[in-house]
Amino acid sequence: MTTTPQPATVYGRPVTTEGVPNLYEGTSVTQWVPPIPGIDNLGISSIDTFAVPGVGEYTVPFDGFVRVVRSEPTSKEWVNAEVYTNLIEMKMVGESEELGRITVTLNPECLSTGQIRTPFDPYAGEGPSAKACRMAVGAIFDMPKLGMKLINKEPIILTIDDVRSIPPAGSPGKGQIYRMLPLHDSRHLEDSPVAYVTSLRFTMGGYITAEKIAAV
Amino acid sequence: MTTTPQPATVYGRPVTTEGVPNLYEGTSVTQWVPPIPGIDNLGISSIDTFAVPGVGEYTVPFDGFVRVVRSEPTSKEWVNAEVYTNLIEMKMVGESEELGRITVTLNPECLSTGQIRTPFDPYAGEGPSAKACRMAVGAIFDMPKLGMKLINKEPIILTIDDVRSIPPAGSPGKGQIYRMLPLHDSRHLEDSPVAYVTSLRFTMGGYITAEKIAAV
């Protein structure tokens, strides 16, 4: 019984937030143990590169928070456990001389979903039983200086490798963008893209306080 | 004025098919020249690897066709031209001892869209002014032996590099899958994925006849 409108596009498995506790700064994280469900309130930073055809390419650092709800793990054993996630809130703010202030939030038309599981192709250098984390995200990049909100109509795939704890706080991650990810003007979604994300690297932060979230 | 139902999820820019001619075997392709709009009827082959958790990993060769409508190029000069595409029909058939016969078609809930443009990051080894081709695809993998139709809820991103003609007939391409792309049982789309695509390599074929398309 949710009161929020159903998003038109659902990238994976929905996860309920009902009865799931919010977890803030001070929550302990244990390696190699699948945790019980929670809503992780985490810091995040990101460095995104935007290409605007005929204008230029701009690299912008962002800082902010995410709120991620996690499902019951499918197993109590780390190696067998799958955990499903939904990104329920995000706000990141960046500033660039050319593009001005940019605020990134979730696109309410999409349910941004993810999962953590043992990969089928373990990498050399990953810890034993390390897991892979992935999330498909629909975002809005609000750029008031340009008078535009930019929207991705293909999800941005955010990945973290070598995951040894849930949440993978402190881990570096990547947006799996192959050459370019199109961004559309929110007022003209059926038109050609007006810009592209060409690179996205991020770092998952640790648990933060409700005050820090409110201050972003 | 289209009579087909509107797909719920649109991955990019829609392209009209109205008044656009079908192009079959015998159509000539010129390098470095943006062509006028057309519906390309092309052969395609693909080698996909599926991982079924707890069961195994299966590599299956596919063969079939695609029908792609192309937009008016945004410029008559190759280097400046952007061309938008929609995948309007696809059928590929593969066979595997374990998975049985697999038929891949488009998911009508999604508009599978793509584009061809000059990349922001030219590769060493690509031809001068070579373009990059990308398409976001929603598919149905019908596996009657398993009694299941599998659906991707994140688009499969198909890419072709070093594009010197449109269509890029004969070019090898890749599905840009990072470790795993979740597949859901069509009857239980809100549940956890039941399988994954872990690798996808394809080769774009040339123009084919209507008879060959009918025979797939």
Helix (H, G, I), strand (E, B) or coil at B78: helix
User: Residue A12: its chain B contacts at CB < 8 A?
Assistant: 153-154, 182, 193
CB contact under 8 A, B154 and A155: yes
The tokens describing B167, both together, are 């269509």
The tokens describing A111, both together, are 């349910």
pLDDT at A127: 80
Supply the ipTM of this predicted assembly.
Answer: 0.95
CB contact under 8 A, B12 and A182: yes
Cis peptide preceding B73, ω within 30 of 0: no
The tokens describing B102, both together, are 């697999």
**CA quadruple B111, A151, B71, B199: dihedral sign:** negative
Each as own residue / partner, the long-range contacts of residues B191-196 (CB below 8 Å, 24 or more positions apart, any chain) are: B191/A13, B192/A13, B192/A74, B192/A82, B192/A84, B192/A115, B193/A12, B193/A13, B193/A115, B194/B52, B194/B148, B194/B150, B195/B50, B195/B51, B195/B52, B195/B53, B195/B150, B196/A120, B196/B50, B196/B51, B196/B52, B196/B53
DSSP readout, A108-140? TTEEEEEEEE--SSPPTTSPTT-EEEEEEE-EE
CB contact under 8 A, A191 and B136: no
Q: Per-residue confidence at B124, pLDDT binned at 50, 70, 90?
A: confident
Lowest average pLDDT, out of A36-45, A95-104, A116-125, A156-165, goes to A116-125
The tokens describing B143, both together, are 């596996």
Nearest to B197 by CA among B208, B216, B183: B183
Q: Per-residue confidence at A202, pLDDT binned at 50, 70, 90?
A: very high
Tell me the pLDDT of chain B averaged across its residues.
Answer: 96
pLDDT at A1: 44
CB contact under 8 A, B12 and A154: yes
Tokens 């075997």 locate to: B25
CB burial string B59-78: b at 16+ within 10 A, e below: ebebebbbbbbbbebeeeeb
Q: Does residue B1 carry a pLDDT above 60?
A: no
CB contact under 8 A, B178 and A159: yes
Mutation site, B2, B6, B9, B161, interface A, largest A CB count within 10 A: B9
Cα B136–chain centre separation = 7
In sequence order, which ranges of A150-203 are alpha helices (DSSP H)?
none
Of B121, B193, B196, the CB nearest to A179: B121
Q: What residue type is B198 in one-letter code?
A: T
Each as own residue / partner, the long-range contacts of residues B127-132 (CB below 8 Å, 24 or more positions apart, any chain) are: B127/B162, B127/B164, B129/B32, B129/B78, B129/B79, B130/B161, B130/B162, B130/B163, B130/B164, B131/B78, B131/B163, B131/B164, B131/B166, B132/A179, B132/A180, B132/B159, B132/B160, B132/B161, B132/B163
Q: Per-residue confidence at A5, pLDDT binned at 50, 70, 90?
A: low
pLDDT at A4: 57
CB contact under 8 A, A153 and B10: yes
User: Residue B74: its chain A contacts at CB < 8 A?
Assistant: 192
The alpha-carbon gap from A155 to the nearest alpha carbon of chain B, in Å, equals: 7
CB contact under 8 A, A154 and B132: no
CB contact under 8 A, A180 and B132: yes
More confident residue, A172 or A54: A172
| Cβ–Cβ < 8 Å for B9, A9 | yes
The tokens describing B84, both together, are 């938008």
CB contact under 8 A, B179 and A192: no
Q: What residue type is A69 in one-letter code?
A: V
Q: Does residue A195 carry a pLDDT above 90?
A: yes
pLDDT in tens, B3-46: 556 899 999 999 999 999 999 999 999 999 999 999 999 999 99
CB neighbourhood size of A198 (10 A): 21
Q: Per-residue confidence at A50, pLDDT binned at 50, 70, 90?
A: very high
pTM: 0.96
User: Residue B180: its chain A contacts at CB < 8 A?
Assistant: 117, 119-120, 132, 134
In total, the C-beta contacts within 8 angstroms joining chain A to chain B are: 98
| Cβ–Cβ < 8 Å for B191, B153 | no
Q: Per-residue confidence at A86, pLDDT binned at 50, 70, 90?
A: very high
Can you state the percent helix, strand and coil of chain A, rounding each to 5?
Answer: 5, 50, 45
Mutation site, A15, A153, A177, interface B, largest B CB count within 10 A: A153
> CA B119 → CA A18, A154, B134, B162, B194, distances in Å?
45, 18, 11, 10, 35
